[in-house]
């Protein structure tokens, strides 16, 4: 058994706490049966942190997160904090931790589990077996570019400005993540931009091409315009392996790809930063869904997105691909056995609670572990 890794839990608000409890059970299972044990510590973020000390993310919590080997986050937000000033809103905590940890690469897999393929808005044949990874640049682009704002001109007209801005190192580092991940998958990267109408798109295409020629010529690189990519995602999604794109297009395209899979309760994500001198990469893992105030406290939330986020953590932070595969296989088996939480319920299947789903994953892990 190798030395302990420190997992820092930030359950957050609403169903964040409920789904995170199931992850904790799985971490404990892995500690007993796997090759690595984990120390679990916990902090407050979002509304829970605001209630405790008037800020959605305290400096102490941020420091603990930066010290951890990986951070697992549930979800933040809820109507309770709707009237809180913008800078203290639960979502501000989330934006701050992503920015301070410089998590520039957001990984959103769109994987269709066979048992749920019927739930997709596309035909079964188009999505069955689908496995796409979208790598979205997360800390630059139009959401951060200056100048920005709304001004009133002398004649009373109001004018709004956003600035789309990228530097070559910002593009190169996220492209590098995409190429490295493609090497562990099917060796293909689509680089997506709007070089036909945007200068940032021209720079994006040229930086990605230069990096490809210099270091990744073993990977198949294809360039695609963002509007075409949106169309291709719903036309023939299986043509894609890894897609790398900027912050704005990534926001839209990853939501589009997510819906191919059928349910929000099934979607994990990872946000990765740079590698430090000791070889440690800043990383935060979280389900794509929010705090779901409409079902919070009822014990019916789907914990699988959070459990699959932990599988990504094993794969990307701890190089535990075998254990991550086992975790994903366990989820596959649970779904094949007909168990469902309410959000993915289908005729003839059996509905289980959040805890019931977590326990079912543990039972499958026991079986897979022999
Ligand atoms: P949401 O993702 O919380 O919920 C959307 C719908 O999906 C709801 O009907 C909900 O019940 C359902 N749902 C979501 N996750 C589910 C799960 N695991 N199991 C079963 N059903 C699930 O989005 P929303 O309602 O737009 O936002 C609610 C709050 O969450 C807001 O305060 C919003 O700002 C916040 N939010 C946070 C994050 C995050 O923390 N990363 C992301 C999105 C929204």
Q: Tell me the CATH number of domain 1-108+264-370, given options 3.90.1300.10, 3.40.718.10, 3.30.300.130, 3.40.720.10.
A: 3.40.718.10
Catalytic residue among 39, 102, 255, 325: 255
Pocket of ligand 1 (CB under 6 A): 15, 19, 75-78, 91, 94, 264-265, 286, 289-295, 301-302, 305, 341, 343
Catalytic residue among 227, 294, 319, 366: 227
Q: How far apart are CA 299 and CA 48, in angstroms?
A: 19
Over range 21-45, report the average pLDDT. 93
Q: Which residue's CA is the nearest one to ligand 1's atom 5?
A: 292
Q: What angle do CA 135, 138, 139 make, to 5 degrees?
A: 150
From residue 102, give the alpha-carbon distance in Å to each of 92, 140, 273, 347, 356.
Answer: 15, 10, 5, 44, 36
pLDDT at 3: 63
Q: What is the CA radius of gyration of the chain?
A: 21
* Residue 276 C-alpha from the chain's centroid: 22
- How does DSSP classify residue 300? -
Q: Which residues share a beta bridge with 286?
A: 269
pLDDT at 259: 84
pLDDT at 247: 96
Q: Which residues share a beta bridge with 39?
A: 6
Q: Which fold has domain 131-260?
A: Isopropylmalate Dehydrogenase (3.40.718)
Over range 234-248, report the average pLDDT. 97
Instruction: Based on the residue annotation, tell me whether 251 is a catalytic residue of this protein.
Output: yes
Tokens of 99: 């920015």
Work out the pLDDT band at 118, boundaries 50, 70, 90.
confident
Residues 6 or more apart whose CB falls under 8 angstroms from that of 106 comprise 135, 136, 137, 138, 250, 254, 269, 270, 271
Ligand 1 centroid distance, CA of 133 (Å): 22
Q: What are the structural domain ranges in the chain?
A: 1-108+264-370, 131-260
Continuous segment of H or E residues that includes residue 127 = helix 124-127
Least confident of 25-29, 64-68, 75-79, 261-265: 261-265
Over range 204-231, report the average pLDDT. 98
- Out of 94, 255, 292, 339, give the residue to mutate to test ligand 1, the one with the largest number of ligand atoms within 8 Å of its CB: 292
Ligand 1 centroid distance, CA of 130 (Å): 24
Is 131-260 in the same CATH topology as 1-108+264-370? yes
Over range 130-150, report the average pLDDT. 95
pLDDT at 365: 97
Ligand 1 centroid distance, CA of 292 (Å): 4
């Amino acid at each position: 058994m190798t030395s302990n890794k420190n997992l820092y839990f930030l359950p957050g608000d609403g169903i964040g706490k409920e789904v995170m409890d199931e992850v904790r059970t799985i971490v404990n299972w892995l500690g007993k049966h796997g090759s690595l044990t984990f120390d679990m510590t916990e902090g407050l973020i979002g509304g829970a942190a605001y209630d405790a000390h008037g800020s959605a993310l305290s400096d102490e919590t941020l420091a603990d997160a930066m010290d951890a080997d990986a951070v697992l986050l549930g979800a933040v937000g809820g109507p309770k904090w709707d009237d809180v000033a913008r800078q203290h809103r639960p979502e501000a905590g989330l934006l701050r931790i992503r920015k301070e940890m410089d998590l520039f690469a957001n990984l959103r897999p769109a994987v269709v589990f066979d048992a749920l393929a019927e739930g997709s808005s596309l035909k079964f044949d188009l999505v069955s077996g689908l496995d796409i990874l979208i790598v979205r640049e997360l800390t630059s682009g139009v959401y951060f570019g200056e100048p920005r704002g709304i001004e009133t001109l002398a004649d009373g007209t109001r004018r709004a400005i956003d600035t789309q801005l990228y530097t070559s190192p910002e593009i190169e580092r996220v492209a590098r993540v995409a190429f490295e991940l493609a090497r562990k998958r099917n060796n293909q990267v689509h680089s997506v931009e709007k070089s036909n109408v945007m200068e940032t798109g021209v720079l994006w295409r040229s930086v990605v091409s230069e990096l490809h020629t210099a270091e990744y010529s073993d990977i198949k690189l294809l360039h695609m315009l963002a509007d075409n990519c949106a169309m291709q995602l719903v036309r023939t999604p299986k043509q894609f392996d890894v897609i790398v794109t900027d912050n704005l297009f990534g926001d839209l395209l990853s939501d589009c790809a997510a819906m191919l899979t059928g349910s929000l309760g099934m979607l994990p994500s990872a946000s990765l930063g740079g590698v430090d001198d000791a070889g440690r990469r800043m990383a935060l893992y979280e389900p794509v869904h929010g705090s779901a105030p409409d079902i919070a406290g009822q014990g019916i939330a789907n914990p699988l997105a959070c459990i699959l986020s932990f599988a990504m953590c094993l794969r990307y932070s701890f190089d535990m691909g075998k254990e991550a595969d086992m975790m994903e296989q366990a989820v596959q088996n649970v779904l094949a056995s007909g168990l469902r939480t309410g959000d993915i319920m289908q005729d003839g299947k059996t509905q289980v609670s959040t805890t019931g789903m977590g326990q079912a994953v543990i039972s499958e892990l026991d079986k897979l572990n022999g």
